[in-house]
Amino acid sequence: MRRALSWLRQKLRPPRRLSFTREGRLVVLVSIGVGFAAINTGNNLLYLLLGWLLSFIIASGALSEATMRGLRVRRRPPPRVFAGQPFLMEIAVENEKDALASFSIEIEDLVGGRPLDKKCYFLKVPPGKTQRTSYRHTFSRRGLYRFDGFRIATKFPFGLFRKSRDADEPGEVLVYPPLVPVLRPPPRAEQRGEEAAARLGRRGEFWGLREWRDGDDRRDIHWRSSARTGRLMVREYEDEMTRRVIVVLDNALPADVRQALASGEPDAAAQAADDALERAVSLAASLASVYLEVGWSVELVARGVHVPSSAGRQHQARILRELALVPAVGDDAPFAIQVPPRVESVLVAPRGIAAGGRPPQVGRVMEA
């Protein structure tokens, strides 16, 4: 269905858009006035002036068309984009013509069929060359933003008209929730001691069994349990060097709030609840990032969302991606897993929103 609508939109869309500049309106009005005067008086000088003005307009259209042909535009977003923080989007324009340069090119990104509030300007793109520049933009909310393409425009050569065309170049940018300052947990190096404190690791006393995950050591496979269950099971051990935390996000909103938000015209109470949820998502992302920075293993749990425990920068990207896309659900939706005992955990919940089904065994509760 989406492909059919895109094809129909392409067929119905005019190949070019033409708008007058202030100078262009003046030249057209003067041409019309000179034309009426030449017809009424029959003065050859007026006919000559009219011909010069019309040729001026025709030359403007022909040269602008030539400068817009053969252009290929690409975008390169930054690796990480956070809501509320400006970022630079790189735009590259390649002139595929063999002999003609393109002048005075304006490029606008299209989101939902409408251009963004920023544009890139290229004074000259030589034939067979590629020019690059960037524009600065800020997305106010987290989520996945899809780009439709580009709007290529020019006022070349005389600035009388602004001619533009739309080029299809789909793309998307995932906007992470903003990170806020939070208290840092004790660093991993300060957790050394002589007693194991319910922390998973590669050495130490036997902790338990779990299913195989990518990156596990094959030597930890428990073959007898694997044969009995039909799934690869690996051993887990206690270790005094590793810390593990579970960040639990309560992404539940009341049904009336979700209906008001879906209508597009929420009242003040619904907007306040939505803002509280966004703050909770931001706080959960900040907590996970801070724990990962000091070497902890972090597991993310929400209603309908689960990211297994791991560490490192790539794991932070996985958690931020899930939090960027986590939806608001009803409080009847269960959490993805039950929080196990003897593991440090933090529940992050929107302030002022009472939701049922929250895990009772979490260690701390933080409201945003």
Decide which of 312 and 194 is more confident. Answer: 312
Residue 240 pLDDT > 60: no
What is the band of 263 on the pLDDT scale with cuts at 50, 70, 90?
confident
Decide which of 132 and 221 is more confident. Answer: 132
**pLDDT value at residue 280:** 94
* Contact by Cβ (8 Å): 126, 146: no
pLDDT, average across residues 304-319: 92
Domain with CATH 2.60.40.10 in the chain: 12-176
**C-alpha to C-alpha distance for 84 and 10, rounded to whole angstroms:** 33
Residue 97 pLDDT > 90: yes
Burial 124-162 (b: 16+ CB within 10 A, else e): ebeeeeebeebbebebeebeebebbbbbbbbbbebebbb
Give the pLDDT confidence of 8-51 residue by residue, as tens digits.
Answer: 555 555 678 888 899 999 999 999 999 999 999 888 899 999 99
pLDDT, average across residues 85-102: 94
In the chain, where do the E strands start and end? 17-20, 71-76, 81-82, 87-95, 102-111, 114-125, 130-137, 143-154, 161-176, 200-211, 233-238, 244-249, 297-302, 305-310, 344-349, 364-367
The percentage of residues in the chain with a pLDDT greater than 90, rounded to a whole number, is: 50
Decide which of 243 and 284 is more confident. Answer: 284
- Please state, rounded to an integer, the average pLDDT across all residues of the chain: 85
Burial 325-352 (b: 16+ CB within 10 A, else e): ebebbebebebeeebeeebbbbbbbbee
Q: Facing residues of 337 across strands?
A: none
**C-alpha to C-alpha distance for 221 and 209, rounded to whole angstroms:** 9
pLDDT, average across residues 1-13: 58
Give the pLDDT confidence of 345-362 residue by residue, as tens digits.
Answer: 899 999 888 777 787 778
Residue 140 pLDDT > 80: yes
Give the pLDDT confidence of 68-89 residue by residue, as tens digits.
Answer: 999 999 999 999 999 999 999 9
User: What are the DSSP calls for 120-142, one per residue?
Assistant: EEEEEE-TT-EEEEEEEE--SS-
Residue 207 pLDDT > 70: no
Q: Facing residues of 133 across strands?
A: 91
* Contact by Cβ (8 Å): 359, 335: yes
**C-alpha to C-alpha distance for 153 and 164, rounded to whole angstroms:** 4
Residue 307 pLDDT > 80: yes
Residue 128 pLDDT > 80: yes
**pLDDT value at residue 172:** 93
**pLDDT value at residue 312:** 87
211: three-class secondary structure by DSSP: strand
Residue 214 pLDDT > 60: yes
* Contact by Cβ (8 Å): 302, 319: no
**C-alpha to C-alpha distance for 288 and 57, rounded to whole angstroms:** 61
The percentage of residues in the chain with a pLDDT greater than 70, rounded to a whole number, is: 88
* Contact by Cβ (8 Å): 212, 221: yes
**pLDDT value at residue 204:** 53
**C-alpha to C-alpha distance for 32 and 38, rounded to whole angstroms:** 10
pLDDT, average across residues 53-67: 91
**pLDDT value at residue 210:** 78
What is the band of 209 on the pLDDT scale with cuts at 50, 70, 90?
confident
Decide which of 150 and 232 is more confident. Answer: 150
pLDDT, average across residues 305-325: 93
Q: Which fold has domain 12-176?
A: Immunoglobulin-like (2.60.40)
pLDDT, average across residues 256-282: 89
Residue 191 pLDDT > 50: no
**C-alpha to C-alpha distance for 304 and 65, rounded to whole angstroms:** 52
